[in-house]
Structure formats: C-alpha cells, structure tokens
Amino acid sequence: MLEQLQLPDLATQDMINQMARCYMFRMIAGMMMADTSGNYLKLMYLPMLEDLNVVSCYSWGSATLACLYRFLCKASQSNQNEIAGFLPLLQIWAWKRVTVLRPQVIAQKDTKNNFLVGLPRGPHATRWFAHFNWTDTTKHVLKVFRDALDSMTEDQVRWYIGF
C-alpha cells in the first residue's frame, strides 16, 4: 500500500494532506498498533488524523507501548498462539535483556553505504544491524519459547542497562 502513495507533480495541498493521512493511518493501524486480524486496519484511528496540526501533539509512543502491553497480556494466556502490537520494539527489548532469546552477533553489517552513516550514535535498534548466527537460538517454536521463558533464572535477564 505504501508504494502506491505517490503524489502527482502538480499535487494540491488537499491531495498532500490526504496522502499524509493515508501514510500515517497505515503506519499507526498497520504497524504501531497492529492486531492479529491480518490485512484489516481498524478505522478507529482515522478521527485522530482529521486535524494534521494536532497529530504531532498526541503521544504516539505511549499509545504504541500501551497497545503492546495489552497484546502481551493477551498473548501470555496459555490458550493463545498469536501476538500483536509493535513487535520490533519487543524484539529489540528482548534481545537486549533476555539472553535466552538473543541471537549471536557474528559481525556488524557494513554501515559505509547505508542509512546509518552520519548518525551520531544511531537509534537504539541500530545496534542490532548485524549478521547473526542462529544455530544456538530457538526459532519459530512457541512452546520452546514459552518453556525457555518459564525456566529462566534471574541471571538470564539484564534488569538495568545504563546508557
């Protein structure tokens, strides 16, 4: 869908605003607060995009985190086999703090010719812009992940990481 969001050369301000709303709607409903429905996007986010002057005043990060927490609560039930929410955030958090889930970093990827060049330290997630070894990491098996999480010891979690 995002590939289709191209403006004509002589776009009016209304067309630009409409395209901006489409893009933000896709990001919010399809990524930041995605649910398990697949390709369906919840229209409840559209009213928040009506006035583009106030969109930046909303706390989208807090809302994304709250949505992820809600879906984590649902996913923790034993009868659940799906999870939703902004999972890249959960993945970065887990790789940083839960050692049994972390892949082994073989080498950092070449950053000379990519979007990371020139960033002071880079966003937190760019620390995982690397080549991984997955041979010792459990993958794509819900029961194995749940067992690993259930049997974790205190020393397998990094509770505090200073900046």
Low-confidence ranges of the chain (pLDDT < 70): 1-5, 107-124, 133-142, 160-163
- Model confidence over 76-98: pLDDT tens digits? 888 888 889 999 888 888 888 87
Bridge partner residues of 108 (DSSP):
130
Whole-model pTM above 0.75?
no
Task: Fill in the amino acid letter for 154.
Answer: E
